[in-house]
Each structure stands twice: as C-alpha cells, then as structure tokens.
Structure 1
Amino acid sequence: MMKTKLLISAFALTLAQPVLAEGQNPIATGAAMAWQCAPCHGTNGQEFLEAMPPLAGMPVEQFTKAMIAYREGTRPAIIMDRVARGFTDAEIDAMAVWFEKQPLKQWENTSLNEAQKVNSTGGQK
C-alpha cells in the first residue's frame, strides 16, 4: 500500500513538471529574475539615480552586452560582475526582453494601476 502511494505521488510530480529537452533546466521568467535588480535599479528597473542607471526601456542588445561583459570581467564593476556571474545567457536574454518592455519613467510617477498591470502581465504592452 505504501509503495503504491509513493508511486502515485512520484507519477503526479512527474506530470506537474514542465516538459524539457533532456539536459535542460527550467528558468524563471524575465520578470521574476528582474526583481533581483530592484534593490539597486528600482522597481521594474525605473530608478533614476546617477550611480544606478535605469534598466527600463533599455534595448535588448545593450542590456545583454553589458551583462555578458560584467560576467566575463571585461567591464569595470563594483558589484555587477559578481551579480552577472549568477545568470546564464538564456536568463540574461529573458531579463533583457522584459526590461526593454518596461516604460522609462520614474517609479514614483507610476500609478498603482500601471504597477499592477506590469506585475500581472510581465511587462507593459
């Protein structure tokens, strides 16, 4: 009886997992990963401080090149080199696409409705 329950539980977990090609690991969405940037770059990348440039509206190619350069140590950084090492190319691409879709404006000027729309859709449309 216990083996049957264990087998059924294992089967249910297998069905709940996303289908992936062999050897692939699932990645979080660009929106989910972008929240890691919020403490320095502001909510949705909308911070306007000289030391921390906004990421909202940044073109995909610019974001991707910067993150890869930080990760490879070819771009000077105080902390971004260590942060970037934690992301794969696919994760960097996902964040780049998400940030490019965000409106470039100060977060303080973003309405609650706009913020909720960003959080529910993963980006502005």
Structure 2
Amino acid sequence: MKLLAFLMLCAAAAASHAAGNGQRLYASCAACHGTAGAGSGGVLPRLAGQPKDALADSMRAFKAGTRDATIMQQIAKGYSDEQIELIAAYLAAQPAERRK
C-alpha cells in the first residue's frame, strides 16, 4: 500500500512539474497571445482552453512550415516536440473564458 501511495505522489509531482514547465515555456508567448493564453484583445486567437491536440498540431504545422504565418513559423522552430506538448497541455488546462 505504501508503494502505491508513493507512486501516486510521484505521478502527481511529475504532472505538476510538467505543467510548470509548460507555463514557463509559454511566458515568451504572452506578449502576443495574452497571459495564460487569454488573448490580448487583438487579432490573434485566444489559446486558453483549446484542445491540447489541436494546439500541438498547429504548433507542429508552424514548425514544419505547412501553416502560413508571419512570425509563428520562426518561433515554433525553436521548440522541441516535447516542449510543444508541454505548452499545449498548459494552454488546454487554462480557463476558456476570462474571469472577471
């Protein structure tokens, strides 16, 4: 029983660490996409609350150059596939609507 509790604690810690890494990786995106993906009021889409797979697929398409963008193709090339997954997971976990 103690082993099971330990393994559950380790899994929770790993998930928390991954979420923190996603948040740190996203920090440079906030200038255009808003804090926690909430949008900045401009023409760029809100990213918060979108499906993780859709966000990751978009980033991979930017990285591969198969999705047109002014700047995102260059930015996405700087992230590994693992980092893209962490960012997508962080954004998907954010509230879809901004709370007032």
Q: Specify the TM-score bucket, using the shorter chain as the normaliser.
A: 0.7 to 0.9
Q: Which structure carries more relative contact order (alpha carbon 8 Å, separation 6+)? A: 2
Q: Does the alignment pair 1:61 with 2:56? A: no
> Are the counterparts in 2 of residues 47 and 106 from structure 1 also a CA contact under 8 Å?
no
Structure 2 unmatched ranges of 5 or more: 1-19
CA deviation profile, 1:17-63 (whole Å, cap 9, x unmatched): xxxxxxxxxxx700101111100000000016452101100111100
Root mean square deviation, CA, Å: 1.6
Structure 2 length-normalised TM:
0.75
> Are the counterparts in 1 of residues 36 and 91 from structure 2 also a CA contact under 8 Å?
yes
Q: How many residues align?
A: 81
CA distance in 2, matches of 1:82, 1:49: 23
- Greater gyration radius: 1
CA distance in 1, matches of 2:86, 2:41: 24
Provide the identity percentage. Answer: 35
Structure 1 unmatched ranges of 5 or more: 1-27, 110-125
Shift, 1:105, TM fit? 1.9
Structure 1 length-normalised TM:
0.60
CA distance in 2, matches of 1:51, 1:67: 18
- Divergent runs of 4+, >6 A: none
